[in-house]
């Protein structure tokens, strides 16, 4: 996920943030995000999702584990993720949490992956909802 490097650009970590009972290191990408052009791809709105799934009677929800970490960083962007950690610096080879465009980049990839299934799958970032009108149809959709 990350490699040790020597880099001229570094991001300061915030340590000790507790999420779901686990302590995690979080990186402060504020200055990087302030200098990043916004990706104009849009996330689906809640009303759009609710309208889409509202006719379903059977639902299955999936939450992807470490979704952003499934996306490789663009090679030219890796150096900008350099962070100070005990023992040196790391650069992220996969997309870390906290980058300005991470949610829309991931949404675009998910939309591409699930293209053609819009009639029975709704995707919001790393949450996938399969919806169907009856049990047999739901088994087929799964």
pLDDT of residue 129: 98
Cα–Cα distances in angstroms (integers) from residue 139 to residues 55, 57, 86, 87, 130, in the given order: 17, 13, 49, 50, 10
Residue 32 above 70 pLDDT?
Answer: yes
56-109 pLDDT tens trace: 999 999 999 888 999 999 999 998 988 887 788 888 999 998 899 999 999 999
Is the distance from CB of 142 to CB of 130 less than 8 angstroms? yes
Residue 26 above 60 pLDDT?
Answer: yes
pLDDT of residue 8: 59
pTM (predicted TM-score) = 0.82
- How many residues in total does the chain contain? 142
Ordered domains of the chain (ranges, CATH): 2-141 (3.10.10)
DSSP label at 125?
Answer: T
Is the distance from CB of 1 to CB of 94 less than 8 angstroms? yes
């Amino acid at each position: 996920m990350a490699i040790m490097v020597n880099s001229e650009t570094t991001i300061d970590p915030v340590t000790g943030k507790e999420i779901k009972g686990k302590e995690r290191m979080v990186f402060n990408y504020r200055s990087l995000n302030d200098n990043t052009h916004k990706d104009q791809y849009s996330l689906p709105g809640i009303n759009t999702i609710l309208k889409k799934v509202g006719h379903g009677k059977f639902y299955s929800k999936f939450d992807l584990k470490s979704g952003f970490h499934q996306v490789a960083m663009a090679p030219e962007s890796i150096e900008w993720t350099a962070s100070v950690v005990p023992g040196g610096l790391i650069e992220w080879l996969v997309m870390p949490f906290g980058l300005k465009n991470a949610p829309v980049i991931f949404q675009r990839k998910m939309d591409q992956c699930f293209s053609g299934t819009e009639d029975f799958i709704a995707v919001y970032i790393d949450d996938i909802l399969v919806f169907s009108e009856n049990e047999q149809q739901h088994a087929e959709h799964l």
